[in-house]
Amino acid sequence: MRNFFASLFGALIGIFLAFFLIFIICVGIITNAVRSVKEETITSVPRPSVLEIKLNHPISERTPPVAFNFRLPDDEARMVETSGLNDILADIHHAAHDKEIKGIFLNLSDIPAGFASLQNIRGELERFKSSGKFIIAYSMTYSQKSYYLASVANKVYLHPGGNIMWKGLGAQIMFYKRALDKLGIQVEVFRHGRFKSFVEPFVLDKMSPDNRLQTKAFITSIWNDMLDAIGSSRHIDKKQLNIYADSLTIRNAAAAEDRHLADTLYYSDQILDKLRQNLGIKADQAIPAIGLDDYRHTFSPDDYAPAKIALIYASGEIQNGYGDDQNIGALRLSQSIRQARLDKDIKAIVFRVNSPGGDALASEVIWREVSLAAKAKPVVVSMGDYAASGGYEISCAATEIVAEPTTITGSIGVFGLIPDAGGLLSDKLGITVDTVGTNSHATAPSLFYPLTTAEGAIVQAEIEDIYRKFVMRVADGRKMTFAQVDSIGQGRVWTGRQAIKIGLADTLGDISTAMQIAAAKAHLTNYSTEEMPSLYNPLRKLFKRFGVDAETDILQAELGAFYQPVKDLEQLTKEKGIQARLPFNYIIE
């Protein structure tokens, strides 16, 4: 009888959860339908209008598809944009030629995006500005990233109680060795590359001299690019900007205005009056502004042409299998490259790479398809925030490589990490593990005991073999000798600007530069663009939200700044096979 009631109760709970899920989906469908009607009604821009840009969301390479929108009209989350880099650039580009758009309002705070993505957006804003239209920037408090973007504006305004956080760039890395020692966890490290510092947080308690050297070099390169751009736009000497950072001169809004980093200090109502003035409308009139998300629904892509350039995205960590829209699945991406190679209407490929690398075998699978495609038609790589380690390996066979000056690339090296939690189990928890196998190494590698000397030698030999192949791939693709690549390899990280000087990239520029080069190499003057691979059905994402993503959201909210180290340690237990990826998670501010 007890089992009967237990089963009945379980069934009732299951039915309740099923109906609840159906109810949520129905609400989402209705809400999304209402929102879709609204979006479809936005077929024209109010005149005259200003394009408002906030960039208050993590900027992905492509705008993610939305299955359902559960946000209410007055929800604060509705104020957050969702546009990916592709639509941000397309919006700004179209606005420059849109007669109804008179200018851009950069309404900024902090911008959770990489430096190369910001550099790409800033370049598009410069082209917009050259059309003769105005750009106004405003913020309560500018971070260094948001000020870098804002400095392109005709006028930079700041709240009187605000500030510009001007202090220089710094990189921080968390180290876990002491924590692991206390837990009784040892990590066996196998690597080739004196600069391949991904492993350091697990075996050291501070940066190695080599890692400190490379980190200082690449953040200085990024900082110098920021200084050059800001100094040119604001007419401030680069040396003076460094003095301001070293002395923390820009302590408040008044100091920012006095040193010409800001033009005028305005309250929010005053900036609205300034916008009305620029638009030539009355003081009591509502400002006709349109955001990025809505603006992209007011125009269609370029006219169709039979000749096409495939724009293939490789964004996220490189993994085996099919991956998802946040990570690169070797099978899914390889299929897209193969499809573009065999399609006679596709005359060239722009391969957009924004990846810190990942699984070495998966990188090899993608490299093969890129090398085959480059023999059939022009393949031009456009590097995003990262194109490093495995991300560089999948790029090196291209016809030409275009990098942003602040792209993080190189890191030609490989490593393997094998944790040994035997001490944690036996000494801390009193748990012992015994094994039995048909052969000598049947249970290796194991989480419960270290590798033998012979097993460790085999792993290291595999590391050396993969590194040798990696260097050969780069040497063949870049027309260099093995020794030349090895001298700039060893896991060392470079910026895009540095990569040009050492032969790892060909041209500095953004994704539009890569498109122009691809069109020229394919002798195209009129073409359409086909984005690949197709984004996953948003319904897949919806159901995922009830699983792993929901758990992630909860952990991030509860752990705050401590979420990243927990994620790093969890990743340690999940690494399988040899890895070709960037050094560990830098926090660069």
* Alpha-carbon gap, residue 303 to 469, rounded angstroms: 44
Which amino acid, one-letter code, is at 223?
Answer: W
What CA–CA distances, in Å, run from 402 to 23, 380, 476? 49, 7, 18
* Alpha-carbon gap, residue 256 to 67, rounded angstroms: 44
3-class SS of residue 460:
helix
Contacts of 416 by beta carbon, 8 Å cutoff, 6+ apart:
189, 190, 191, 459, 462, 463, 575, 577, 578, 579
3-class SS of residue 553:
helix
Task: Give the DSSP letter of residue 197.
Answer: G
Torsions phi, psi for 336 (to 5 deg):
-65, -45
What burial letters (b/e) apply to 82-96, b meaning 16+ CB within 10 Å? ebbbbbbbbbbebbb
Task: Give the DSSP letter of residue 365.
Answer: H
- Other Cβ atoms within 10 Å of 441 Cβ, number: 12
* Alpha-carbon gap, residue 148 to 245, rounded angstroms: 14
The set of catalytic residues is: 196, 389
* Alpha-carbon gap, residue 191 to 489, rounded angstroms: 13
Instruction: Report whether 503 contacts 392 (CB < 8 A).
Output: no
Map tokens 């992630």 to a residue. 552
* Alpha-carbon gap, residue 22 to 20, rounded angstroms: 5
